[in-house]
Amino acid sequence: MRYDVIIVGAGPCGIFTAYELVKQNKDTKIIMFEKGRDIESRECPKRITNKCANCKPCNITTGFSGAGAFSDGKLSLSPDVGGRIQEFVGRTNAEALIKYVDGIYLEYGADKKVYGTDSQVIEEIKRKATVANLMLVESPIRHLGTEEAKKIYKRLQDFLTGSNVEIKFKTPVKDLIIEDGKVVGVIAEDGKNYFGKNMVICVGREGASWLSKIIEKYQIPCENNRVDIGVRVETPNHIWKGITEHLYESKFIYYTRTFDDKVRTFCMNPGGYVAVEHYDNLAVVNGHSYKNIKSDNTNFALLVSKHFTDPFKDSIKYGKYIAELANMLSGGKVLVQRYGDFIRGRRSNEERIRRNSVVPTLQDAVAGDLSLVLPYRIMLDIKEMIEALDYVVQGVASFDTLLYGVEVKFYSNEVKVKQNFECTTVQNLYFGGDGAGITRGLMQASVNGVLIARDIAKRL
């Protein structure tokens, strides 16, 4: 029950913390706790039955490799995308670390193809975007694909277990054990206490609520973080082909005319499928893309970033409230609305969805009215963003474009950490990954794990 390192969360940050620790010293005694299942057991029944089985915990959002790797598995190869790592180590070091981690993914089976390197195409897209007051964020991307990502992370899981890393699946951590200003262990749901010299908390977005409670209980300094609220948009593949075949995923940022709010595209899935995920028993929408199985549609998220100031401090609660409204109207499912109905202020019904030229890939989505869920400000932000995108990609603002709601990205409060990612008030306690507000994607979460491991290795 005594370890050199305790890792809470087996997403990319936790995986690469353990991986790098083993590489630094194969005798390091490591235990990982994961709320979800091992990679082999992570199967979503809905992908076969088209009906959500309400797995507890949700196999899409929890388990070895985390939520992002199980959805579509995109590696952003620029330090400008997916987190704040370069704030801690500088741009040059961030680029070198991304190259190092990318090499590991290639070693374990990632596709060698990289999108977003054709400068001539990128310049033309940027020109159109500028006219529409959009900003294109350039980032080379390596696409793993849902089914191929599972194989890659299975090999990583086998490496860790073969290196005597103990992984306890379906075993959430209830609480920390802190003595004299130092973290010394955890209390797990199996009723046992586990002790360690160092601890890494990297629970991802799914663990944001749990992490917020830990932060509050132990008065760990943090800053109010944002919540991203919006919709998932589904359009025909052919209108995006000129962009997706070169960039795969286009990241556009727009500041709206009316409110000057930031809206961004996120998680684009060419030939992908709209999917439902469950966070704390709430159904929210997301998107998946496979390497070898393709639909006729492209989906992506439009997210409005909301930052809160005093006196309000609970961004997660606000996001959950919006999701609860959507679930209330849909009977615990995801709402879908035609863009033509959205801008007319009328509810979509089953008949209009049935004759729509864009056929929903989320077959059990409930036709409804997003105006009964989203605040007016967010609705107007989304409308203005779609109008801007339509200049760059004609057809996005088609009446038959589908909007699914809601999509919510939960972040815990941004934990204040030292340059080595150690907590400022509790010794030997490290924070990393998306849940702590440090990263927002697979690559930078993986890099974060490498950095934490290298710092811990110096102490052992």
Q: In this predicted model, what pLDDT tens digit does every residue of 242-293 receive, in sequence order?
A: 999 999 999 999 999 999 999 999 999 999 999 998 887 899 999 988 888 9
Q: Are residue 447 and residue 307 in the same domain, yes or no?
A: no
Q: Are residue 211 and residue 280 in the same domain, yes or no?
A: no
Q: What is the pLDDT of residue 52?
A: 75
Q: Are residue 273 and residue 202 in the same domain, yes or no?
A: no
Q: Are residue 205 and residue 244 in the same domain, yes or no?
A: no
- Tens digits of residue pLDDT in 368-383: 999 999 999 999 999 9
Q: For the domain that residue 152 is a member of, what is the CATH number?
A: 3.50.50.60
Share of the chain above pLDDT 90, in %: 79
> In the numeric block, which tokens belong to residue 141?
């991307």
Q: Are residue 365 and residue 280 in the same domain, yes or no?
A: yes
| Domain tally, the chain | 2
Are 454 and 24 a contacting pair, CB within 8 Å? yes
> Does residue 133 belong to any structural domain of this protein?
no
Q: Are residue 155 and residue 14 in the same domain, yes or no?
A: yes
Q: Are residue 299 and residue 402 in the same domain, yes or no?
A: yes
Share of the chain above pLDDT 70, in %: 98
Q: What is the pLDDT of residue 405?
A: 93
Q: Are residue 217 and residue 309 in the same domain, yes or no?
A: no
- Tens digits of residue pLDDT in 318-356: 999 999 999 999 999 999 999 999 999 999 999 999 999
Q: Are residue 160 and residue 28 in the same domain, yes or no?
A: yes
Q: Does the pLDDT of residue 411 top 90, yes or no?
A: no
Q: Are residue 330 and residue 253 in the same domain, yes or no?
A: yes
Q: Are residue 196 and residue 265 in the same domain, yes or no?
A: no
> Does residue 160 belong to any structural domain of this protein?
yes
Q: Structural domain of residue 284, as residue ranges?
A: 227-409
